[in-house]
Amino acid sequence: MRTLALAVVLVAAPAWAQDAVVRVIAEEAEVRTGPSFAYRTVYVAARGETLRAEGRASKDYWFRVVLPDGTYGWILGDQVLPLDVEPSPPAPPTFGQRFVEAVFSPAPLAASDVSLSFSAGFLGGEGLILFRPGYLLAPHVGLEAFVGETVGEQADVLYYGGGVNLYLWPSSPVTLFAAGGGGGALGRKKADQFTIRTGHYATANVGGGLLIALKKRITLRFDFRDYLVFGPNYTRELKEYSGGLAVLF
């Protein structure tokens, strides 16, 4: 019967503000299992202690409060002072938050299928221009082709091939990626060079890079890779340092 009576009181209790608290004004206030002195005491609150109020009984003057251990109880209204706590205003954004909102755009990888990248830099110490079209299988995995050329004093070399990019944080506007691939290299010596050895070679590359998504749909891309150019009786190691723009859509 006591359980049934408590259920009836809870159903009939009027709505109470979620931010309301009560402060104990008596020397001690007993918190009971129900809104009556007939229920047993489960907690004794000291003077000045505050408890969050979850409701109020429709009969007599009892408040349903949340105890420190997360359980519930009922406290007599004559022993407490109800307080309505105003919600705290949101904290102003920090300088870092304002900077991020002003400079970076939402991560483009999650909403894109195709990428086009144009990079310039150095490969093996010679000037490099590369075009990299790609297709995103998932926000964190992409297939990518590449074609580009280095222009040297003695020979020009055309590089081509493809590979895989693994994006570490595709939901972030700034993400690192690991990359690997392979292809070929076709050397063409200058017209005035007669002793330079050129030809068609295989290549393999491994490394990674960085994507930075900025406002106005501008995405910066930086690549750092190790290349191995090899063929019959020929092996050469090269390093790529390049940067440029990427378009994702």
Predicted TM-score (pTM) of the model is: 0.61
Q: What pLDDT is stored for residue 85 in this prediction?
A: 52
84-127 pLDDT, tens per residue? 655 556 667 788 878 877 888 888 888 889 999 999 999 999 99
> Is the model more confident about 15 or about 159?
159
Which residues, 6 or more positions from 68, have their beta carbon under 8 angstroms from its beta carbon? none
The predicted model gives 41-68 an average pLDDT of 88
Residue 56, beta-bridge partner list: 63
Higher pLDDT, 67 or 9: 67
Number of helices and strands (H, E) in the chain?
2, 15
174-183 as b/e: b if 16+ CB within 10 A: ebebebebeb
